């Protein structure tokens, strides 16, 4: 299935691997792209917050997009969020010309009122082009942009090229239900909803109307299986799998240290060579690594994918 208003499945948010000298590790990027695809991902999302997009040069962002799109066998969505609409336009055009399936756009911390938010996305759609399919990222915990359900309803009405909501508000479940009720009543057009928040509520979100996940948990193969179990009606099996992974998901969702945990797990799983982040970024202490290693051993008793 392509990237459209009926998209379902798992779109992992890709990390960006670096060498010890902080240059982009292109070999690891290739390996990571294969890792996500081999996990059964429906698509891949690159240059998001987890991908440290804000720490990359424009040239690096374009080369990452070029390399992943060329290697991928699945749709690739490219994060183009930027307070500069000129920069957004340049990256979006380049990505789409390279063969991206679409782009992802978020607000930024300076947006406060609904009118400022509406103007931002109006300008963003003008920049990326009205025919470019895009995902609206709703992530107030990090971006400080509060998108109420009426605001989402307004944006979807004003911009038919928005075909997906990347939902990662907090709390999330009632918001999902409110959106799906509006759609059922005909007050809101259909669009795909993929959820994030590190997967913390993937046990319950399908029951509220989510179509899958767009998150960066270091076990994308588990996310794919979880999605399959939910869609086949195997609710207890889905919850059992989720419960086994919840301690690790929780570790990844720690504010300030979560990406360090995620990259360490990706390294342990052989997807990338180093768990290095560019500054500003956190790193794990030896005790922190030992705790993750311990959780991996425990997880491996229930899920062989954790045997690293």
pLDDT at 149 over 70: yes
- Quote the percentage of the chain above a pLDDT of 90: 95
**Residue at 274 is within a domain:** no
pLDDT per residue as tens digits for the range 153-164: 999 999 999 999
pLDDT per residue as tens digits for the range 168-202: 998 899 999 999 999 999 999 999 999 999 999 99
**Residue 221 pLDDT:** 98
Question: In this structure, is the dihedral angle defined by the CA atoms of residues 135, 136, 139 and 144, taken in order, positive or negative?
Answer: positive
**Residue at 284 is within a domain:** no
Look up residue 168 and give its two tokens: 């990662």
**Residue at 102 is within a domain:** yes
User: Measured between alpha carbons, how far is 181 from 300 in angstroms, rounded to an integer?
Assistant: 40
pLDDT band at residue 209 using 50, 70 and 90 as cut-offs: very high
**Residue at 46 is within a domain:** yes
pLDDT at 233 over 90: yes
**Residue at 273 is within a domain:** no
Across all residues in the chain, what is the average pLDDT?
A: 97
If one counts the domains in the chain, the total is 1
The SS3 of residue 193 is strand
Looking at residue 30, which CATH number applies to its domain? 3.20.20.70
pLDDT per residue as tens digits for the range 68-102: 999 999 999 999 999 999 999 999 999 999 999 99
Identify the domain containing residue 79 by its residue range: 9-234
pTM of the predicted structure, to 2 decimals: 0.96
State how far the alpha carbon of 185 is from the alpha carbons of 147, 153, 188, 189, in Å: 21, 13, 8, 10
Paired strand residues for 75: none
pLDDT at 51 over 70: yes
Q: What stretch of H or E contains 267? A: helix 258-268
**Residue 264 pLDDT:** 98
**Residue 2 pLDDT:** 82
The SS3 of residue 134 is strand
**Residue 104 pLDDT:** 98
pLDDT at 1 over 80: no
**Residue at 289 is within a domain:** no
**Residue at 240 is within a domain:** no
User: Measured between alpha carbons, how far is 250 from 105 in angstroms, rounded to an integer?
Assistant: 26
pLDDT band at residue 114 using 50, 70 and 90 as cut-offs: very high
**Residue at 281 is within a domain:** no
């Amino acid at each position: 299935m392509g990237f459209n208003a009926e998209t379902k499945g798992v779109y992992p948010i890709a990390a960006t691997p670096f060498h010890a000298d902080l240059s982009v590790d292109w070999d690891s990027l290739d390996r990571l792209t294969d890792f996500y695809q081999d996990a059964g991902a429906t698509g891949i999302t690159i240059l998001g917050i987890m991908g440290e997009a804000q720490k990359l040069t424009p040239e690096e962002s374009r080369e990452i997009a070029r390399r992943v799109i060329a290697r991928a066998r699945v749709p690739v969505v490219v994060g183009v969020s930027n307070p500069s609409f000129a920069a957004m336009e340049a990256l979006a055009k380049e990505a789409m010309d390279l063969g991206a399936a679409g782009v992802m756009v978020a607000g930024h911390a300076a947006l406060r009122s609904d009118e400022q938010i509406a103007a931002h996305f109006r300008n963003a759609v003008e920049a990326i082009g009205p025919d470019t399919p895009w995902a609206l990222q709703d992530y107030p915990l990090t971006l400080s942009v509060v998108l109420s359900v009426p605001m989402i309803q307004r944006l979807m009405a004003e911009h038919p090229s928005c075909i997906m909501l990347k939902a990662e508000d907090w709390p999330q479940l009632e918001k999902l239900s409110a959106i799906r009720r509006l759609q059922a009543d005909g007050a809101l057009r259909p669009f795909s909803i993929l959820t994030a928040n590190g997967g913390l509520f993937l046990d319950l979100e399908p029951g509220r109307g989510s179509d899958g996940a767009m998150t960066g948990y270091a076990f994308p193969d588990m996310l794919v299986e979880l999605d399959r179990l939910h869609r086949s009606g195997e609710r207890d099996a889905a919850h059992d799998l989720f419960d086994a992974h919840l301690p690790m998901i929780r570790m990844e969702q720690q504010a300030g240290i979560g990406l360090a945990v995620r990259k360490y797990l990706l390294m342990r799983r052989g997807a990338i060579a180093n768990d290095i982040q560019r500054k500003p970024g956190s790193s794990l202490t030896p005790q922190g690594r030992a705790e993750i290693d311990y959780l991996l051993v425990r997880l491996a008793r229930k899920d062989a994918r954790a045997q690293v």
